[in-house]
Structure 1
Amino acid sequence: MAFLRTAPFGDLFLVTFLVAGSFQVAMSLLGILLAVLSPGLFNMNGVPATSPAGALGVLVFLLIFGLVINAAMSAIGTLIVMAWRNLLPRPPKATGASLIS
């Protein structure tokens, strides 16, 4: 929680972007597998791809679009956290008293 309260924009953006990016990498690997095994699942202008090369072209477009959306959502999410982080619960303050006597 302390990280959310004190981190600058760049650090918060990096964390959110990497989390979403790791999911995007996993889906990219699945997309490559599907493009090779079943290219007809990928549509180009409403027409199913007839070869893995055509399906991979569609996949590249989708990955670039997803990367742009990922960056936009990470930036907006970071700004929201920075705007509202004063409302996050604060850690308890140390009283200075020791439990060991």
Structure 2
Amino acid sequence: MHYIRTASFGGLFTTTFLVAASFQITLAILGLVLAVLSPGLFNMNGVPATSPAGAIGVLIFLLCFALFMNAAISAIGAAIVLAWRRFLPKARLA
């Protein structure tokens, strides 16, 4: 809680981005396994991929798009925390 009260925009952004990116990379590794085992699960322009290479291409596109969305959502979330920081509970002195 102290970090949320004192961190800069960059610190908040980095923290949220890295947490979400680690989850996305874990899913990308799972996607690589699925791309090799069952490439037909990945669609390119509405057509199922016929080879693992095509499925991996779709996976790379999805990963890039997800990381871009992650950056946008992390930036918005950090800005919201900075805007609403004054409403967070104050630290208690013990």
TM-score normalised over the length of structure 1: 0.91
**Greater share of residues in helix:** 2
Percent identity, please: 67
Q: Distance in 1 between matches of 2:45 and 2:38?
A: 17
Q: CA deviation at 1:93?
A: 2.4
Q: Distance in 2 between matches of 1:35 and 1:47?
A: 15
TM-score normalised over the length of structure 2: 0.97
Alignment of 1:92 onto 2:79: no
What residue in structure 2 maps to residue 68 of structure 1? 68
Q: Distance in 2 between matches of 1:90 and 1:25?
A: 36
What residue in structure 2 maps to residue 39 of structure 1? 39
Q: Distance in 1 between matches of 2:14 and 2:27?
A: 20
What residue in structure 1 maps to residue 10 of structure 2? 10
What residue in structure 2 maps to residue 77 of structure 1? 77
Structure 2 residue ranges without an equivalent (≥5):
none
Task: Output one character per residue of 1:73-96: Cα deviation in whole Å (capped at 9) or x when no partner.
Answer: 0000000000001111111124xx
Structure 1 residue ranges without an equivalent (≥5):
95-101
Q: CA deviation at 1:2?
A: 1.1
C-alpha RMSD of matched pairs (Å): 0.7
- Which 4+ runs in 1 deviate beyond 4 A? none
